[in-house]
């Protein structure tokens, strides 16, 4: 393909990268950048924005997006989601899922426990707080053989929004007295059903739930598929 100013611009292509630190910075998409932003409409929770960006040929283009209006300056991400593993002596591990009505889907979803980060709250603190509020369980951050229990900020739907989430792995000791009788601490607008499901065979459980008409969160299904491939 051609480019501006006599410079050739490669459109796409396949690049094999065996070390992310060596990824070329002059790939086609790397030359794009946002040069303007206009807020068209905003609420307490969301902002609809019109972006202007320059593509690799130097041509200006437009893009509409929606972003959260709740992210504080300096916050690492918009929200956290929690992969909570419940452990009890003599039993196989289980995990916590939540079922709730999501108006945009016009139905109920199956998700991981999750919530917005308050201000510049650390993702670990946000995860333990949201876990207690949504499920009633008290957990500890998992920092085992797999490294840090917290992921980098991850985009959820980058063609639509700049919303990011950090996945936090948490262990819940069911033999601990604080988890003997968990009680949710829901806000008035929250109606959340807590599901405890076997960790092994999670994808089959999600397929069954989807077959019953529930909307399974994409990140949860992807995680379950990865776990299955590792089994």
Per-position DSSP letters for 181-214, written without gaps between them: S------TT---EEEEEESTTHHHHHHHHHHTT-
What local confidence, expressed as pLDDT, does residue 31 receive?
84
pLDDT tier at 140, thresholds 50, 70, 90: very high
Q: If you average pLDDT over residues 164-176, what whole number do you get?
A: 97
pLDDT exceeds cutoff 60 at 192: yes
pTM, two decimal places = 0.87
Average pLDDT over residues 39-45: 97
pLDDT surpassing 80 at residue 54: yes
Does residue 1 surpass a pLDDT of 80? no
Q: What's the whole-number mean pLDDT along residues 78-104?
A: 97
Q: What is the pLDDT of residue 152?
A: 95
Contact 58, 65 (CB under 8 A): no
DSSP 176: S
HSE (CB half, 13 Å, CA atoms) of 180? Answer: 3
What is the per-residue pLDDT across 196-217, written as a single tens digit (0 to 9) for each? 999 999 999 999 999 999 999 9
How sure is the predictor about 2, in pLDDT bands with cuts at 50, 70 and 90?
Answer: very low
pLDDT higher than threshold 90 for residue 22 = no
Distance between CA atoms of 93 and 231, rounded to whole angstroms?
Answer: 14
pLDDT band for 125, please (50, 70, 90 cuts): very high
Provide CB contacts within 8 A for 59, sequence distance 6+. 4
Per-residue pLDDT, 78 = 97
């Amino acid at each position: 393909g051609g480019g501006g100013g006599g410079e050739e611009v490669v459109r796409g292509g396949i690049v094999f990268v065996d070390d992310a630190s060596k990824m070329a910075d002059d790939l086609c998409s790397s030359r794009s950048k946002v040069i303007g932003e206009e807020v068209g409409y905003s609420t307490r929770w969301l902002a609809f924005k019109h972006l202007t960006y320059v593509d690799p040929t130097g041509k200006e283009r437009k893009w509409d997006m929606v972003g959260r209006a709740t992210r504080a300056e300096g916050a690492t991400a918009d929200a956290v989601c929690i992969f909570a593993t419940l452990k009890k002596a003599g039993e196989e591990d289980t995990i916590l899922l939540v079922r709730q009505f999501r108006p945009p889907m016009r139905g109920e979803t199956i998700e991981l426990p999750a919530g917005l980060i308050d201000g510049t709250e650390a993702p670990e603190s946000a995860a333990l707080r949201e876990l207690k509020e949504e499920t009633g369980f008290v957990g500890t951050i998992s920092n085992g053989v797999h490294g840090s229990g917290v992921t980098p900020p991850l985009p959820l739907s980058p063609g639509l929004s700049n919303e990011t989430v950090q996945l936090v792995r948490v262990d819940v000791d069911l033999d601990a007295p604080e988890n003997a009788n968990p009680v949710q601490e829901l806000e008035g607008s929250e109606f959340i059903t807590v599901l405890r499901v076997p960790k092994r065979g999670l994808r089959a459980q999600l397929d069954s739930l989807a077959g019953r008409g529930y909307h399974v969160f994409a990140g949860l299904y992807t995680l379950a598929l990865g776990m299955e491939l590792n089994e």
